[in-house]
C-alpha cells in the first residue's frame, strides 16, 4: 500500500479518467477520495459536454465562442487543443459506457449560454451522474487501480520542489504514501461561498495542497456564478441547468419582462457572467424567474426529469409556475497553473479538471467546456520513470524534515484526540462565517474595501486553526487557504474582466 506509480487525489471525471488511462499503461494506481468515490462535483453536472461534432459546426466556431465567453483572456494554444480534441473526448466517454441521448443513432445536441451552435452532448439533465457512474464502474473493474475512500490528503510530500506522494489521514492515523506521479483532481471551491451549486466536498483542497507545496497559480479571481439556482423561501438549493434556456426557457423579472432582451444579442443565452450580473441587478427590485410554461408537460418531464421532480418536491410545476432563481458560486475558472500535459510548477505533481488552470476558460468558462477539459487533458498520461523511483523514495525518507510534515512525521501515527463535539461545533461556526464573508465580500460584484475585509477574515481564521489535526480542521484550513488565494487574486485585478466584476 505504501508505493504506487500514480496517486490520484479526487474521484470526479478528471481523476477517474486519469486513473483509468494510467492503468491502461500498466501503472499501479491509487485513487484517494475524502468521501465516497461518487461523491463529486461531476455527479451534479447537468447540462453536458461541448464538442464541435455536428456537420454544421466547426472547432473554429467552438474556439471563437470559448474566447468570447472568456473575455479573450484565454490561452489560445490551450483552447485550440481543447476544441480540436472534442470528438475524441466524446468517443472516450462512449467507450467507457456513457449512454448519451441519441435519435436515429445520432447524438442529440443541445445549446447553452455563449454557444452559437447546438454542440452539447447530454444524458437528459443528469449528464455528470451518467459519466460518473460509467467511470466508477470501469475503475471498480480495473485490477490495477486501488481506491481509498474516506481518506483525507493532509499534505503533499514535497522536497526540493519535487513531489514524492501524499500524507493521508485515515482512521485517525497519519501515513505517507509514495508515488512517481501525484495528480490533484480535487474539483472546485464552491463551499467557500454561502450560496453554491457545488457539493459539500468542494472545499478547494487541491488549491490549498498546491499552495503549501509551492505551486504557481493562475486566474484565481475568476469565480463563475451560475445564474439559475432554484431559490425557495430565501434559500438557494439545486441547479437548474442552462440547457433549460438552451431549449427555449425565458428569464423574467418581477414585472414579467424578459430583461435579457436588449442586454446581449444572445439574450437569455448570453455568457454566464453577463446573465448572472443581470439577475443580481434585477434582484434589487424583486426576483428573477425562469419561465418554461410554453412547453408541454410531456416534453418537460422527459427532457428535464430530475429538475422537474426536484421542483415538484417544493410544489412548483414547470408547466404552470414561474420558477424563482438566483445566482450561486459554481465554477473556478482559474486554478493551479499547468501546461497542456497537466504539469504543475512542482516536479512529478500534476493537476487536472477544475482545480487546474490550463488557460482554456479565460475570465469566464463557456458552459459545458469543463467536462470536455477534464477528459481532453487527462487522455494523455506522463511516462513514469521506473528506475528513478527507488532513489527518489529513499532520498525523501532520509530527509523528510519538511515543515509541513510536522508533527506527524514519517510512518503511521495516531492523531492524539479526535475533535470533541464542542470543537466540531466551533469549526462548523467558523466555516459558516467564512462562507458568509466570502459571499458578501468576494461575490458577483466586488470592491477593494470588501475584498480587504475578506482577506483579513481568512488570515485571522488561518491563525486560529494553524495547528489543524482532524479532518474537519484540515478541511477548514484548506478552505481558508483557498479563500485567501482567491481574494488576493481579486484584489490584484483592479479592472473588471469576465466574471471578476469590481466597482473600484
x/- letters, 323..342, toward ligand SIN (CB under 6 A): --------x-----------
With CB under 6 A as the contact rule, which of the stretches 40-48, 78-86, 254-262, 279-287 interacts with ligand SIN? 40-48
Exactly one of 43, 272, 392, 446 is catalytic; name it: 272
- Based on CB atoms, which residue is closest to ligand SIN, 113 or 443? 113
Shortest reach from residue 241's CB to ligand SIN, in Å:
3
In sequence order, what are the residues at sequence separation of 6 or more whose Cβ sits closer than 8 angstroms to the Cβ of residue 150? 33, 34, 35, 36, 170
Instruction: Output the CA angle 267-272-274, nearest 5 degrees.
Output: 65
Q: Is 272 a catalytic residue?
A: yes
Shortest reach from residue 224's CB to ligand SIN, in Å:
8
Kindly tell me the burial class for residue 256, based on how many C-beta atoms sit within 10 Å of its own C-beta (0-12, 13-18, 19 or more).
exposed
Query: What residues between 204 and 263 interact with ligand SIN by CB under 6 A?
Result: 241-243
C-alpha cell at 481: 487557504
- How many residues bind ligand SIN (CB under 6 A)? The answer is 10
Shortest reach from residue 398's CB to ligand SIN, in Å:
46
- Based on CB atoms, which residue is closest to ligand SIN, 135 or 243? 243
C-alpha pair distances (Å), 489 with each of 4, 224, 290, 363, 495: 35, 14, 33, 12, 12
- Based on CB atoms, which residue is closest to ligand SIN, 45 or 323? 45
Query: In angstroms, rounded to a whole number, what is the distance separating the alpha carbons of residues 347 and 341?
Result: 13
C-alpha cell at 444: 458577483
With CB under 6 A as the contact rule, which of the stretches 42-50, 94-102, 302-310, 413-421 interacts with ligand SIN? 42-50
x/- letters, 446..485, toward ligand SIN (CB under 6 A): ----------------------------------------
Shortest reach from residue 352's CB to ligand SIN, in Å:
17
C-alpha cell at 216: 504557481
Decide: 155 and 167 in contact? Cβ < 8 Å: yes
**Of these, 41, 47, 353, 498, which contacts ligand SIN (CB under 6 A)?**
47
Shortest reach from residue 36's CB to ligand SIN, in Å:
22
Q: Tell whether residue 45 is a contact of ligand SIN (CB under 6 A).
A: yes
C-alpha cell at 157: 510530500
Among 45, 12, 443, 72, residue whose Cα is nearest residue 224: 443
- Based on CB atoms, which residue is closest to ligand SIN, 182 or 368? 368
- Based on CB atoms, which residue is closest to ligand SIN, 47 or 327? 47
* Strand blocks (E) in 245-365: 250-252, 288-291, 323-332, 335-337, 349-351, 356-357
Please give the helix or strand (H or E) that residue 471 lies within, else none.
helix 471-492
Q: Tell whether residue 198 is a contact of ligand SIN (CB under 6 A).
A: no
Among 54, 45, 210, 27, residue whose Cα is nearest residue 135: 45
Query: In angstroms, rounded to a whole number, what is the distance separating the alpha carbons of residues 250 and 273?
Result: 17
- Based on CB atoms, which residue is closest to ligand SIN, 330 or 337? 330
- Based on CB atoms, which residue is closest to ligand SIN, 47 or 165? 47
Shortest reach from residue 223's CB to ligand SIN, in Å:
13
Shortest reach from residue 188's CB to ligand SIN, in Å:
10
Q: Tell whether residue 273 is a contact of ligand SIN (CB under 6 A).
A: no
C-alpha cell at 322: 414561474
Question: Residue with the closest Cβ to ligand SIN?
Answer: 47
Q: Tell whether residue 46 is a contact of ligand SIN (CB under 6 A).
A: yes
Shortest reach from residue 246's CB to ligand SIN, in Å:
9
Q: Residues of 263-298 as b/e, b for ≥16 C-beta within 10 angstroms?
A: bbebbbbbbbbbbbbbbbebbeeeebbbbbeebeee
Query: What residues between 352 and 371 interact with ligand SIN by CB under 6 A?
Result: 367-368, 370
In sequence order, what are the residues at sequence separation of 6 or more whose Cβ sits closer than 8 angstroms to the Cβ of residue 203? 189, 191, 192, 475, 478, 479, 482
Decide: 61 and 116 in contact? Cβ < 8 Å: yes
Decide: 448 and 491 in contact? Cβ < 8 Å: yes
- Based on CB atoms, which residue is closest to ligand SIN, 368 or 473? 368
Instruction: Output the CA angle 287-290-296, nearest 5 degrees.
Output: 150
The values of phi and psi at residue 139, to 5°, are -65, -45
Shortest reach from residue 71's CB to ligand SIN, in Å:
17
Alpha carbon 141 to chain centroid, angstroms: 26
Applying CB under 6 A, which residues contact ligand SIN? 45-47, 241-243, 331, 367-368, 370
- Known catalytic residues? 272
Amino acid at each position: 500500500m505504501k508505493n504506487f506509480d500514480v496517486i490520484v487525489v479526487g474521484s470526479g471525471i478528471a481523476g477517474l479518467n486519469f486513473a483509468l488511462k494510467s492503468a491502461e499503461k500498466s501503472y499501479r494506481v491509487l485513487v484517494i477520495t475524502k468521501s465516497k468515490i461518487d461523491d463529486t462535483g461531476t455527479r451534479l453536472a447537468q447540462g453536458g459536454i461541448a464538442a464541435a461534432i455536428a456537420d454544421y459546426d466547426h472547432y473554429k466556431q467552438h474556439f471563437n465562442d470559448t474566447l468570447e465567453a472568456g473575455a479573450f483572456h484565454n490561452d489560445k494554444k490551450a483552447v485550440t487543443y481543447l476544441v480540436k480534441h472534442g470528438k475524441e473526448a466524446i468517443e472516450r466517454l462512449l467507450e467507457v459506457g456513457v449512454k448519451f441521448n441519441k435519435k436515429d443513432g445520432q447524438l442529440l445536441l443541445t445549446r447553452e449560454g455563449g454557444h452559437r451552435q447546438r454542440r452539447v452532448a447530454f444524458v437528459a439533465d443528469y449528464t455528470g451522474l451518467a459519466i460518473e457512474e460509467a467511470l466508477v464502474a470501469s475503475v471498480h473493474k480495473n485490477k490495477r487501480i486501488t481506491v481509498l475512500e474516506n481518506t483525507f490528503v493532509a499534505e503533499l510530500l514535497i522536497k526540493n520542489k519535487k513531489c514524492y506522494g501524499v500524507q493521508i489521514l485515515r482512521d485517525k492515523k497519519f501515513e505517507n504514501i509514495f508515488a512517481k506521479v501525484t495528480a490533484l483532481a480535487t474539483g472546485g471551491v464552491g463551499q467557500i461561498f454561502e450560496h453554491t451549486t457545488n457539493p459539500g466536498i468542494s472545499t478547494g483542497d487541491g488549491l490549498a495542497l498546491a499552495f503549501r507545496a509551492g505551486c504557481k497559480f493562475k486566474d484565481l479571481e475568476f469565480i463563475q456564478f451560475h445564474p439559475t439556482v432554484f431559490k425557495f423561501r430565501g434559500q438557494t438549493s439545486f441547479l437548474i441547468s442552462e440547457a433549460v434556456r438552451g431549449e427555449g426557457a425565458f428569464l423574467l423579472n418581477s414585472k414579467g419582462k424578459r430583461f435579457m432582451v436588449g442586454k446581449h444579442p444572445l439574450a437569455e443565452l448570453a455568457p454566464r457572467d453577463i446573465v448572472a450580473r443581470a439577475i443580481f441587478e434585477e434582484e434589487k427590485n424583486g426576483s428573477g424567474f425562469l419561465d418554461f410554461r410554453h412547453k408541454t408537460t410531456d416534453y418537460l418531464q422527459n427532457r428535464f426529469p430530475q429538475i422537474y421532480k426536484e421542483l415538484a418536491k417544493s410544489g412548483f410545476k414547470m408547466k404552470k409556475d414561474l420558477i424563482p432563481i438566483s445566482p450561486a458560486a459554481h465554477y473556478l475558472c482559474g486554478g493551479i497553473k499547468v501546461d497542456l500535459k497537466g504539469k504543475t510548477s512542482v516536479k512529478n505533481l500534476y493537476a487536472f479538471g477544475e482545480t487546474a488552470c490550463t488557460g482554456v476558460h479565460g475570465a469566464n468558462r463557456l458552459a459545458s467546456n469543463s467536462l470536455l477539459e477534464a477528459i481532453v487533458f487527462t487522455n494523455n498520461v506522463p511516462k513514469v520513470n521506473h528506475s528513478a523511483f527507488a532513489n527518489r523514495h529513499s532520498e525523501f525518507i532520509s530527509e523528510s524534515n519538511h515543515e509541513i510534515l510536522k508533527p506527524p512525521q514519517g510512518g503511521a501515527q495516531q492523531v492524539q484526540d479526535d475533535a470533541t463535539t464542542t470543537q466540531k461545533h466551533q469549526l462548523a461556526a467558523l466555516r459558516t462565517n467564512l462562507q458568509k464573508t466570502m459571499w458578501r465580500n468576494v461575490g458577483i460584484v466586488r470592491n477593494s474595501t470588501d475584498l480587504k475585509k475578506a482577506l483579513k477574515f481568512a488570515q485571522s481564521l488561518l491563525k486560529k486553526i494553524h495547528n489543524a489535526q482532524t479532518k474537519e480542521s484540515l478541511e477548514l484550513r484548506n478552505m481558508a487557504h483557498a479563500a485567501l488565494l482567491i481574494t488576493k487574486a481579486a484584489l490584484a485585478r483592479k479592472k473588471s474582466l469576465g466574471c471578476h466584476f469590481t466597482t473600484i
